[in-house]
Structure 1
Amino acid sequence: MTLKTQMEKIINRSYNNIGGIIVLKNGKTVYEKYFNECTAASSFHVFSVTKSIISILIGIAIDKGNIKSINQRVLDFFPDYIIKRGEKTIQSVTIKDLLTMTAPYKYKSEPYTEYFASDNWVKSALDLLGGKGKIGEFRYTPLIGPDILSGILVTATGQSVLDFATKYLFSPLEISAKNNVVFQNKEEQFAFYEAKSVSGWAADRTGVNTAGWGLTLTPVEMVKIGQLYLDGGIWKGKQIVSTKWIDESTKEHSRSNQWKLSYGYLWWIIDDKKHVYAAMGDGGNVIYVNEKKKMVVSIASLFMPRAKDRIKLIQEYIVPVFENCVQ
C-alpha cells in the first residue's frame, strides 16, 4: 500500500466529514480531492478560520495607517460607549489583547442565546469585556469577543468589514464572498452551518460582520490565504499585507494550556521554531502553513461536533506523502 493510498484510507475511515483537501508544495498543487459529493465550487462555513482572516484585515488596516498600533486601547474606537460604574479593566484592554486572546470577560461560559438575540453583536461583546479577570491570561473566546475587532475595523476604515476585505484581500485573491448573511432565526443559522452551497459573511442586524465565525470559503480560497502568508504577503507581484505583520502574527504571543498550543494574532502556532502555523475552525476546517517545507494544506469540512484533530492528519499522513514532491 502506498503512502497516498494509506492516507486516503485513513481519511475515509476516520475523517469522513471532509469536503475537500488541497495541498500546495512550492506554490504548485500536488493534491486536490473532494469528498461527500463536494466539488471545487463548494463553499463551506469555516467557523473560526474567520478569526485569522480578521487578523489579516487588521494587519492591512495598520499597513494603510487606518489603525496606528495594536497597542491602542479598544475603547478609543468606541467613544460613545458608556462604561458601567466601577468598571475599570475594560479601559485598559488593547487591540493586542483581543488578537492574542488575553482579554478578560465577565462570563464563565459564553451566553450564546443572549448574544444571538441581540441586534448589535459588537455592543454585546463590549458589555461582556473586562470584569475581574486579569489582562494577559489566555482565554479563548470562540464567538463572543472577537466581534469587537470587527467594530474597530468599521470605525478605523469607514467601511464595512466585507467591503474592506473585498477591496484589499478578496478581490486580489479572487475570493468569492460578496454578500452579508443575516439570520432571521436559529433554523437559518444552523442551515448555514451545514450548507455547502452558500457564499457570504454572517453579519448582525446593524450590518457588522462577525469576527470569530461566519465566513464561507472554498478549499481553493482557503489555500490561497495560506500561500499568501507563505509568500510573505505577496500575491501576483503585489504586496497585499506586510511581511512584518505576517511575521508578528504567526509567532507565539500567548499560550493555551488546555490545548498545549501557542497563539499568535488569531493564528494557532503549531511549531514556533520551525514556523508552522494554522487557521483552525470548528468541524475540522484548517489552513495549514509549513514555511520550512514550503507547504500549504487546506481542509474544508462539513460541520460535525468534536471533529477529529486535523493537525495530526496533516502532519502524520499528508505532509509525509507530499513533502518531497518536485515541481
Structure 2
Amino acid sequence: MILKTKLDRIMNNSYSNIGGMLVLKNGEVQYENYLNQCTAATTFHVFSVTKSIISILIGIAIDKGHIKSVEQRVLEFFPEYGVKRGEKTIQNISLKDMLTMTAPYKYKAEPYAEYFASDNWVYSSLDLLGGKGKMGEFRYTPIIGPDIFSGILVNATGQSVRDFAQKYLFNPLEIPIGNNVVFHNKEEQMAFYNAKNIKGWVAGKTGVNTAGWGLNLTTEAMAKIGQLYLDAGIWRGKQIVSSNWIMESTKEHIRCNQLRLSYGYLWWIINEKEHAYAAMGDGGNIIYVNAKKQMVTAIASLFIPKAKDRLKLIKDYIEPMFENYEE
C-alpha cells in the first residue's frame, strides 16, 4: 500500500495528464488507477501506439497467408498504382523497409495540410514514398507513410482494417472498438485530438483506417495487448499472433540515434537484454513490456504537447517498485 500511495503521489505531481495506468506482474494486476475524471471505461486516442497495433495485424495477415513475407515489395499490393516515369526507388521498397522505418520519402518535412486535404491518404503516402533518399537509414514517419500498411491490409485480406482487426485481434481479447471516425473538416479533427472518451478508429474519405494514429483504446485494452505479447501471442489458450512474429518484431533491426533507442517492426526496443519493448504514442501513451521481469505497464494519457517521458517513469519508479512486489 505504501508503494501504491507513493506512485499516486508521483503521478499527481509530475505526470498530470495521465488518465489511466495499469501495471501487471506475472499476468496479475499490481496497480490500477485513473485520474483526470477518467475511469476504466474511458477510451483514449493513443496516437502512434496505433502503429504497433498495425504491426500485430501485419503479423496475423502473414500467419494466415494473406501476405507472403516482409520481403514482398510494397507495390506488389498496389498493382493499379501508376509509378511516375523515372522513379526507381519506390519499386524496390519492401514491407520490411517500411516496418523498420528505413524507407526514404520525397519530403523533408511532412506536408500535413496537403495530406489531410487529399481524397485518398493511402495514395497520397505512396506518392511521397521513394525519392532520392538512402535506403536503410532510420527515418521515423509519424503520420504520412504508415497508411500504406492500411492499404496493404485491405488489398491483401479483402477486408477493412477495422473488420480484420475486430475479427482476429480485438474480439478474441474482448476489446470493444467503436465505428469509423471520419472528419469532415479541420475543426472536427482538432476537436478529436482534444476530446475525452471518443470511441472508434479514424478513417479517411475512402473508408480506410489510419495506421499511424487515430485508434482509441481503454487502459485495460492497452494492457491486454501488452500481456498478449508477453505471453508469446497466446490468449486464453488460443494463438492470436505467432510467437515468431512477436520475436522478430520486438528485436532490434535499426538504431534511432536521436532517441538512443532501437526499432523493430513498428515497436520501440528499450532493452534487448531484458527483452523490453514498447508501443509509444504522442501525449504520453505507452504499452511497455519487459519479458525478463514479466511485467506489463499500460499508461493512457490526455493529449498535451511534449508530455513528460513515460519511459523514465517506468524505469525509475514503476519497475523498481513492482519487480519484487507482493500484496
TM range (shorter): over 0.9
Contact 2:4 2:31 in 1 (8 A): no
Residue in 1 that maps onto 2:170 = 170
| Deviation of the 1:10 alpha carbon | 2.0
Deviates more, 1:188-197 or 1:133-142: 188-197
> Alpha-carbon deviations, 1:13-61, whole Å to 9, x = none?
1110000000000001111000000000100000000000000000000
Q: Distance in 2 between matches of 1:272 and 1:148?
A: 28
Q: For residue 98 of structure 2, what is the aligned residue in structure 1?
A: 98
Cα deviation, 1:74-122, whole Å, max 9, x if unaligned, reads 0000011111111110000000011000000000000000010011000
Query: 1: distance between equivalents of 2:197 and 2:4?
Result: 29
Is 1:35–2:38 an aligned residue pair? Answer: no
Amino acid at match of 2:99: L
Distance, in Å, in 2 between the alignment partners of 1:25 and 1:6 is 18
Amino acid at match of 2:267: W
- Structure 2: distance between partners of 1:109 and 1:180: 28
Indicate whether 1:64 and 2:69 are aligned. Answer: no
Query: For residue 324 of structure 1, what is the aligned residue in structure 2?
Result: 324
Query: Bigger shift: 10-19 or 298-307?
Result: 10-19
> Using the alignment, how far apart are the partners of 2:276 and 2:116 within structure 1?
34
SS at match of 1:149: helix
Distance 1:7 1:238 in 2: 34
Distance 1:187 1:46 in 2: 20
Tell me the percent identity: 74
Secondary structure of residue in 1 paired with 2:193: helix
SS at match of 2:321: helix
Q: Distance in 2 between matches of 1:257 and 1:298?
A: 25
Following superposition, the deviation at residue 291 of structure 1 comes to 0.4
Cα distance in 2 for partners of 1:51, 1:235 equals 21
Q: Structure 2: 5+ residue runs without aligned partners?
A: none
Distance 2:94 2:162 in 1: 23
1:257 Cα offset (Å): 1.0
- Aligned partner of 1:308 in structure 2 is 308
- Quote the Cα distance in structure 1 between the aligned partners of 2:316 and 2:179: 38
In the TM superposition, what is the alpha-carbon distance from 1:225 to its structure 2 partner? 0.1
> RMSD value over aligned CA atoms?
1.1
Q: Distance in 1 between matches of 2:70 and 2:196?
A: 35
Write the distance in 1 (CA, Å) between the matches of 2:177 and 2:284. Answer: 20
In the aligned structure 1, how far is the partner of 2:225 from the partner of 2:270? 17
Task: Give distance in 2, aligned partners of 1:178 and 1:313.
Answer: 31
Deviation at 1:325, TM superposition (A): 2.4
Give the unaligned 5+ runs of structure 1: none
Counterpart of 1:272? 272
Q: Which residue of the partner structure matches residue 112 of structure 1? A: 112
Letter matched to residue 93 of structure 1 = I
Count how many residue pairs are aligned between Structure 1 and Structure 2: 327
Equivalent AA in structure 2 for residue 60 of structure 1: I
Aligned equivalents of 1:79 and 1:5: distance in 2? 57
Name the CA distance, whole Å, in 2 between partners of 1:295 and 1:112: 37
